[in-house]
Chains A and B, each alone.
Chain A
């Protein structure tokens, strides 16, 4: 469903992403790991069509993001890092706006999508609050609701559990797992346990390059008995 082919992005002379390729199929939950600044977010931004790659491309359901970004954006639900939203709007107004841009123009269709998203993310208690007054956990859920609203076949989630308390993390993981059967999911994270808990595949990216692409079981088998973060460290610091 997602086919990433040789993505390259420069920032000045620095190659932030250097020829990243992978594919994600329906039912996959791909855990995207890597140290800060390794190029995780940049890669995700290129898949979503927010950043234009210097070379390479990404196909989402057969649509090429460099040729037809709007078609790709229709297929995607994207949760950007730190879940930006228009703070002066209430949760309901904000999701209503997203629904309208997602082509649910008729009042009934729009409200139905908003209700569905509110239900999935358990936002109903704060639906009439403005987003800027919400706690971090709720804001993150608003970002989630926004990404899920049109029931997209592909979800791209940039650190979906960042800043949440342990209970909220569990809720979000359960939600992702429930949704994943029908979808292709890419999520980035710093938490290795999260990958073990929900991901069906792991990609580790370091200095803009893919260094690992395997199942969590294979990843663990690299150094039997070792802690996951020890394996992660040996993979991402060796070439530094």
Chain B
């Protein structure tokens, strides 16, 4: 496992060696804060809370995380560096974990750079700090699961466009399963227990608890096991 460090370092710094990181960070922050202000009514609600900021994260991640994750493996395949990487003394699992953790760390940086929002609510009112902390935790965990899915689809193709579209589709399904509008459609066709079961596989269902300040081990386990499972499939896809 010691081989994770150099690859992690290269990958993480790699984001900042190209304009990708800066474009991504700017777009992510503008979009997430913009949604909170203009659609979420951040000021209008007159509450010292970041709920109107976090509520859009599942939807924002749906497009932005595939954009960050699509190149993970498809870029290596297209440029041939995958051959270089896998003839270095490193196992597939180490390479998958190193690249995943680097991308996750980068996304965590992006999420945490929204800290001026926290300062704003702290300055204007008296927010519940526990809720804010748990919302950040949930958001970071959810980003990991989205990224796991994107890393997997990226390993299936050398074409970044295909990788992006597949990622968005897969994440869309995982998100929709828990969306109330979509669920009420399902309710008219399927029995309640089945709809509830399906909703349990959704990002949104598990993320909502975090935004209410509840850190349920069940939700943590869901995100971590979904991430673990997609990374396992990722290793299988690369070794095939």
Given A48-B87, A70-B90, A102-B89, A88 contacting B5 (CB threshold 8 A): no
User: Are B87 and A80 within 8 A (Cβ)?
Assistant: yes
Asked if B46 is at the interface (CB within 8 A of a chain A CB), the reply is no
Closest B residue to A77 using CB positions = B87
Closest B residue to A41 using CB positions = B83
User: Are B14 and A89 within 8 A (Cβ)?
Assistant: yes
Question: Which residues of B have CB within 8 Å of A45?
Answer: 83
Closest B residue to A74 using CB positions = B89
Asked if B84 is at the interface (CB within 8 A of a chain A CB), the reply is yes
Q: Which one, B5, B9, B18, B83, contacts A50 given CB within 8 A?
A: B83
Question: Which residues of B have CB within 8 Å of A50?
Answer: 83, 86-87
User: Are B5 and A100 within 8 A (Cβ)?
Assistant: yes
Given A100-B5, A101-B90, A86 contacting B83 (CB threshold 8 A): no
Question: Which residues of B have CB within 8 Å of A84?
Answer: 79-81, 83-84
User: Among residues 47 to 74 in chain A, which have CB atoms less than 8 Å away from a CB atom of chain B?
Assistant: 48-50, 70-71, 73-74
Asked if B187 is at the interface (CB within 8 A of a chain A CB), the reply is no
Interface string of B57-81 (1 = CB under 8 A from A): 0000000000000000000000111
Asked if B7 is at the interface (CB within 8 A of a chain A CB), the reply is yes
Asked if B6 is at the interface (CB within 8 A of a chain A CB), the reply is yes
Q: Shortest CB–CB separation between residue A160 and chain B, in angstroms? A: 15
Question: Which residues of A have CB within 8 Å of B3?
Answer: 101
Q: Which one, A49, A82, A87, A101, contacts B6 given CB within 8 A?
A: A101
Question: Which residues of A have CB within 8 Å of B79?
Answer: 84, 87
The total of chain B residues at the interface (CB under 8 A) is 20
Contact-size category for A: 20 to 34
User: Are B6 and A80 within 8 A (Cβ)?
Assistant: no
Asked if B212 is at the interface (CB within 8 A of a chain A CB), the reply is no
Cα(A239)–Cα(B90), bound, Å? 40
Interface string of B83-115 (1 = CB under 8 A from A): 110111111000000000000000000000000
Cα(A49)–Cα(B87), bound, Å? 7
User: Are B88 and A73 within 8 A (Cβ)?
Assistant: yes
Asked if A146 is at the interface (CB within 8 A of a chain B CB), the reply is yes
Asked if A32 is at the interface (CB within 8 A of a chain B CB), the reply is no
Question: Which residues of A have CB within 8 Å of B5?
Answer: 100, 105
User: Are B83 and A97 within 8 A (Cβ)?
Assistant: no
User: Are A86 and B80 within 8 A (Cβ)?
Assistant: no
User: Are A70 and B6 within 8 A (Cβ)?
Assistant: no
Question: Which residues of B have CB within 8 Å of A85?
Answer: 81, 84
Closest A residue to B10 using CB positions = A97
Supply 30 A–B pairs (Cβ within 8 Å), ascending by A.
A48-B87, A49-B86, A49-B87, A70-B89, A70-B90, A70-B91, A73-B87, A73-B90, A74-B89, A80-B80, A80-B83, A80-B84, A80-B87, A81-B80, A82-B80, A84-B79, A84-B83, A84-B84, A85-B84, A86-B10, A86-B14, A88-B14, A89-B10, A89-B14, A89-B17, A101-B7, A101-B89, A103-B89, A105-B5, A146-B84
